[in-house]
Amino acid sequence: MNKVMDPAMARIFAAMQLVPKIDLRALPTAEARQTFIAQQVPWAWCPHPLKEIRNLTIPGPAGPMRGRLYLPEGGDARPVVVFAHGGGWTFGDIDTIETPDPLTVVFKMKNPNPAMLEHFASPWNWVYAAKDLAANANAPRTAINGTGPFRLGEHVRGSHITGTRNDKYFRQGRPYLDGFRGVFMTQPAAMMNALQGGQVMAEFRGISPAERDRLVQVMGDRIRIEESSWTLNLMVVFNTEKKPFDDVRVRRALHLAIDRRAGAQGLARTATLRDPGGLVRPGSPFAMKDEDLLKVPGFGRDIAAARAEARKLLREAGVPNLTFVLHNRNLAQPYTPAGIFLVDQWRQIGVNVEHRQSETSPYLAGMSSGNFDVAIDFSNLFMDEPSLALAKYLSFNKAPENRSRAIDAEMDRLYAAQSRERDFQKRFDLIRQFEKRAFDQAYQVPMLWWHRIVPTHKVVMGWQMSPSHNLGQDLADVWLNT
Amino acid sequence: MAGAVSQPPIAGPNVTYAAPKRHSALAMFCLAQPLGAISGVAIAIMLFGGVFADFVAPYDPLTIDFGAMLAPPSWEHWMGTDAFGRDIFSRVIFGARTALTIGFFASLMGCVSGAMIGVASAYFGGRIDMIVQRFIDVMLSFPIIVLALVVVAMLGRNQIGGIDINLVFAIAIPILPKVARVVRSAALSIREMPYVDAARAAGFGHMRIILRHMVPNVAAPFLIMFTAFIAQAILLEASLSFLGLGVTEPTPAWGLMLSGNASDFYREAPWMILFPGLAISVAVFAFNLFGDSLRDWLDPKFKV
């Protein structure tokens, strides 16, 4: 038998060989989904026009099976490919991607997914011309086009990135700027000085309240400050594979002892932390309302009662004098203030905590290997979408980013239900059920949500504040009022 | 007694000789080295504060009070409060415990190991001395803070009983070569002493000669260096903590109190950096002065 491979298929395989192997199971679920969708793109390079795509029902021994026939143009005297799929996989919601003409992409869904439009707008997606991908399948990694409104000028790692105006941008008259230069600064003090000195006209990620106050004091009406709640939160994670944190009473006690209301007020002055909230960003459409949050144990105003309950739970669990190490990241904002705050909160119920901070690399290594008792974890959401926000709370075997390493089929079920529900109110209610389960079990609980503070020089016009530093940064509408 | 001639007592002024006044060593040190005595008192106060911090400090140094954030010095909070409303006076007192514990153990570890290496190097001499001293040269070529930074970065953290043992190692290692070099020079002259030759002739082993006959005779320079290096160790601990590589929050430590939120709020709350800075300065100054005075007092060359 001659081994002949279809040339288009050969190109797809060649492209797959070039792309580094990614273990989707090791990625956060949301990121894995995006990667999975991106990996499907080469399969849409169909050089043969199709005469017909027909859905079939094939009788099988255990009942009818679904099938699909792809019939190419040019007669029927062609070899047949039978592609059988085991079924049962629910990872990808997209069934097929078709490109009937150069300006149209048709995504056919396997399952309803109310988050899909948001996913398409994810800042981690990229669009490449088919001819570029055909010429170099590794283009998304090596041939960076630009941001849309701007073409890439140069990127010097650790120094700067520049962009020049894209005259062919699809929006007429945009962008206004001829170009931009972004500088990378790791020291907040250097950034503050650059802002004050006018070398930098905006700091888009977010600064601390103390830095904000300093800028306003020094620069007066030359600086504009915009603030928003942030799609970032800090969480307290209990390693459920270690004793006594496998006991829900211990986890709940430590959750109840945190006075988030007082912390929100106090830390808001010194740290980039502010809003107490549930699992979805406070203020976003699917977030729990504050009056409802007040009724959730651990988020109310009667901290004395909550701490009495916490002590009782610790006694019942047989660990009234609990001692453990709090694993934290060695970053000034907001990890260190959060660690100081938590140590104080837990001491008030008689728990002795050793606060151990590590540089980012060993911190992350400890988190992923489960080498910790209790840790401060973070959730960095690039969009306001519950399916993304709740993914971190899925069972560990489904979501490796769940650092508590807990397995909870009920939470998985509720997650799946909300992710398929297109009715807003029903989905809202399902998310509340998911949150209730999360707080009852307290495998990992939100501490406080971050607060984004962005300073821009008053001459910078047209930039819109967003609750994420990953969104709204194409600078297409920005202009300078000099 | 036959032939003895009794003579009348010689007339003269009635002179009485008072027995020499016996001062204690402490009193003599205070009289001879008043500055050293003052620094000794400062060290004693720090020691007392550190040991009895739980009873002396008016507040728990870790308790957050958001209602008293950045409060200026007052009768309630003598040194004001920090960005978490923690009492700075209490944190300075507890910080003395951290500084003295790490300073004492790091200096002890560095000085003891350095003295052992220095004495052994001098005793064996020859090729061993040459090789050991070249290693010492390499270690001495690094600035003390750089060497400590490298060691602390390599070792990471290892807390036992609230003390970061690796931090103590990191501070002790830069002290070691300095002590080894000084002790070696003192031991070189002792090696030539007849009693060392006598011990060797009596057939004693190397360890016995080093430990019984040489080490006791380098005790004076050892003590002086041990005291002086406590100051160095305190400064080093404060520096490493300031750089985020030493003690971690919320442990009260003077260097740590100068970093973190202090750098954000030192303009509106200068007391956040003033008092821990003063504590470091006083401690280092006191130990340095005490070490100098001890050297002057112990070294016969300075007794003019």
Query: Taking CB atoms and an 8 Å limit, are B84 and A340 in contact across chains?
Result: yes
Closest residue to B261, CB basis, from A270, A330, A362: A270
Q: Each residue of A328-356: b (16+ CB within 10 Å) or e?
A: bbbebbbbbbbbbbbbbbbbbbbbebebb
Closest residue to A262, CB basis, from B66, B251, B263: B66
Closest residue to B83, CB basis, from A189, A270, A344: A270
B122 and B184 in contact (C-beta within 8 Å)? yes
**Cα B175 versus chain centre, distance:** 11
Cα of A266 to nearest chain B Cα, Å: 5
Q: Tell me the residues of A at the B interface, defined by beta carbons under 8 Å apart.
A: 189, 208, 210-211, 214, 262-263, 265-266, 269-270, 330, 332, 336-337, 339-341, 343-344, 347, 354-358, 362
Query: Taking CB atoms and an 8 Å limit, are A270 and B264 in contact across chains?
Result: yes
**Cα B170 versus chain centre, distance:** 16
Segment among A203-217, A267-281, A317-331, B156-170 with least mean pLDDT: B156-170
| Mean pLDDT along residues B215-229 | 84
Residue B37: pLDDT band (50, 70, 90) is confident
Note the pLDDT of residue A111. 80
What is the chain A residue with the closest CA to B267? Answer: A214
What is the chain B residue with the closest CA to A263? Answer: B66
What is the chain A residue with the closest CA to B244? Answer: A330
Note the pLDDT of residue B238. 85
Closest residue to B264, CB basis, from A208, A263, A339: A208
| Mean pLDDT along residues B120-145 | 88
**Which residues have CB under 8 Å from A145's CB, separation 6+?**
A128, A151, A152
Q: Which residues of A touch B84 (CB under 8 A)?
A: 266, 270, 337, 340-341, 344
A444 and A436 in contact (C-beta within 8 Å)? no
Q: Give the C-alpha separation, B114 to B172, whole Å.
A: 9
Q: Is B157 on the interface with A (CB under 8 A)?
A: yes
Cα separation values, A466 from A171, A259, A386, B78, B112, Å = 21, 28, 17, 44, 60
What is the chain B residue with the closest CA to A344? Answer: B63
B167 vs A349 pLDDT, higher one: A349
Residue A48: pLDDT band (50, 70, 90) is low
Closest residue to B260, CB basis, from A332, A341, A362: A332
Q: Which two tokens stand for residue B183?
A: 């002790």
Query: Taking CB atoms and an 8 Å limit, are A214 and B263 in contact across chains?
Result: no
Cα of B26 to nearest chain A Cα, Å: 42
Residue A88: pLDDT band (50, 70, 90) is very low
Q: Cis ω on the peptide bond leading into residue A61 (within 30° of 0)?
A: no
Torsional sign, CA B225, B228, B230, B232: negative
pLDDT digits (tens, 9 = 90+) for A49-81: 677 777 788 888 778 877 778 777 776 667 777
Note the pLDDT of residue B5. 54
Select the residue from A270, A342, A351, A363 to test the B interface by mutation, using most B Cβ atoms within 10 A. Answer: A270
Q: Which two tokens stand for residue B291?
A: 């070490």
* Closest CA relative to residue A168, chosen from A151, A144, A143: A151
Note the pLDDT of residue A200. 95
Chains A, B: CB contacts under 8 A, how many? 62
Q: What angle do the packed helices A303-316 and A248-256 form, to 10 degrees?
A: 160
CB atoms within 10 A of CB B108: 17
Query: Taking CB atoms and an 8 Å limit, are A344 and B69 in contact across chains?
Result: no
Domain over B33-64+76-302 is classified CATH 3.40.630.30: no
Cα separation values, A422 from A158, A349, A411, A418, Å = 43, 43, 19, 8
Segment among A146-160, A299-313, B160-174 with least mean pLDDT: B160-174
Query: Taking CB atoms and an 8 Å limit, are A266 and B159 in contact across chains?
Result: no
Q: Which residues of B touch A357 (CB under 8 A)?
A: 248-249
Q: Which H helix or E strand runs over A343?
A: helix A335-347
Segment among A123-127, B230-234, B248-252 with least mean pLDDT: A123-127
Q: Is B266 on the interface with A (CB under 8 A)?
A: no
Residue A383: pLDDT band (50, 70, 90) is confident
Q: Which residues of A touch B85 (CB under 8 A)?
A: 266
CB atoms within 10 A of CB A202: 17
Note the pLDDT of residue A90. 44
Q: Give the C-alpha separation, B117 to B136, whole Å.
A: 10
Q: Give the C-alpha separation, B170 to A389, whole Å.
A: 42
For residue A374, pLDDT over 60 is answered with yes
What mean pLDDT value characterizes chain A?
Answer: 86
Note the pLDDT of residue A456. 95
Query: Taking CB atoms and an 8 Å limit, are B62 and A347 in contact across chains?
Result: yes
Q: Which residues of A touch B87 (CB under 8 A)?
A: none
Note the pLDDT of residue A29. 59
CB atoms within 10 A of CB A409: 8
Q: Which residues of B touch A186 (CB under 8 A)?
A: none
Query: Taking CB atoms and an 8 Å limit, are B84 and A337 in contact across chains?
Result: yes
Q: Domains of chain A (ranges plus CATH)?
A: 7-142 (no CATH), 150-228+452-480 (3.40.190.10), 231-451 (3.10.105.10)
Q: Give the C-alpha separation, B251 to B37, whole Å.
A: 31
Note the pLDDT of residue A361. 87
CB atoms within 10 A of CB B176: 23
What is the chain A residue with the closest CA to B162? Answer: A354
pLDDT digits (tens, 9 = 90+) for B68-97: 888 999 999 999 999 899 999 999 999 998
SS3 string, chain B, reads: CCCCCCCCCCCCCCCCCCCCCCCCHHHHHHHHCHHHHHHHHHHHHHHHHHHCHHHHCCCCCCCCCHHHCCCCCCCCCCCCECCCCCEHHHHHHHHHHHHHHHHHHHHHHHHHHHHHHHHHHHHHCHHHHHHHHHHHHHHHCCCHHHHHHHHHHHHCCCEECCEEHHHHHHHHHHHHHHHHHHHHHHHHHHHCCHHHHHHHHCCCCHHHHHHHHHHHHHHHHHHHHHHHHHHHHHHHHHHHHHCCCCCCCCCCCHHHHHCCHHHHHCCCCCHHHHHHHHHHHHHHHHHHHHHHHHHHHHCHHHCC
* Closest CA relative to residue B247, chosen from A366, A371, A359, A356: A356
Note the pLDDT of residue A37. 63
Q: Give the C-alpha separation, A332 to A127, whole Å.
A: 37
Segment among A19-33, A418-432, B268-282 with least mean pLDDT: A19-33
Q: Give the C-alpha separation, B291 to B298, whole Å.
A: 10
CB atoms within 10 A of CB B20: 6
Note the pLDDT of residue B1. 42
Q: Is B22 on the interface with A (CB under 8 A)?
A: no
Q: Is B297 on the interface with A (CB under 8 A)?
A: no
A317 vs A382 pLDDT, higher one: A317
Note the pLDDT of residue A351. 95
Cα separation values, A373 from A57, A245, A367, A438, B24, Å = 53, 8, 10, 19, 56
Q: Each residue of B215-235: b (16+ CB within 10 Å) or e?
A: bebbebbbebbbbbbbbbbbb
The amino acid present at A118, given as its one-letter code, is: E
Q: Cis ω on the peptide bond leading into residue A112 (within 30° of 0)?
A: no
Between β-strands A323-329 and A374-380, what pairing exists: parallel, antiparallel or unpaired?
Answer: parallel
Residue A151: pLDDT band (50, 70, 90) is very high
Closest residue to B64, CB basis, from A330, A336, A341: A341
* Closest CA relative to residue A456, chosen from A210, A200, A271: A200
Note the pLDDT of residue A66. 76
* Closest CA relative to residue B92, chosen from B251, B246, B253: B253
Note the pLDDT of residue A137. 73
What is the chain A residue with the closest CA to B246? Answer: A357
Q: Give the C-alpha separation, B42 to B88, whole Å.
A: 19
Closest residue to A354, CB basis, from B85, B156, B159: B159
A23 and A381 in contact (C-beta within 8 Å)? no
Q: Of all residues in chain A, what percent carry a pLDDT higher than 90?
A: 51
Q: Label residue B203 exposed, middle or buried (CB < 10 Å: 0-12, 13-18, 19+).
A: exposed
Closest residue to B64, CB basis, from A208, A344, A356: A344
Q: Cis ω on the peptide bond leading into residue A244 (within 30° of 0)?
A: yes
**Which residues have CB under 8 Å from A402's CB, separation 6+?**
A392, A393, A394, A395, A396, A443, A444
Between β-strands A323-329 and A352-358, what pairing exists: parallel, antiparallel or unpaired?
Answer: parallel
Closest residue to A356, CB basis, from B66, B157, B244: B157
Note the pLDDT of residue A156. 92
A430 and A418 in contact (C-beta within 8 Å)? yes
What is the chain B residue with the closest CA to A363? Answer: B156
Cα of B245 to nearest chain A Cα, Å: 9
Q: Assign A269 to helix, strand or coil.
A: helix
Q: Which two tokens stand for residue A417?
A: 């239900």
pLDDT digits (tens, 9 = 90+) for A204-253: 999 999 899 999 999 999 999 999 999 999 999 999 999 999 999 999 99
Q: Which residues of A touch B260 (CB under 8 A)?
A: 332, 336
Note the pLDDT of residue B18. 66
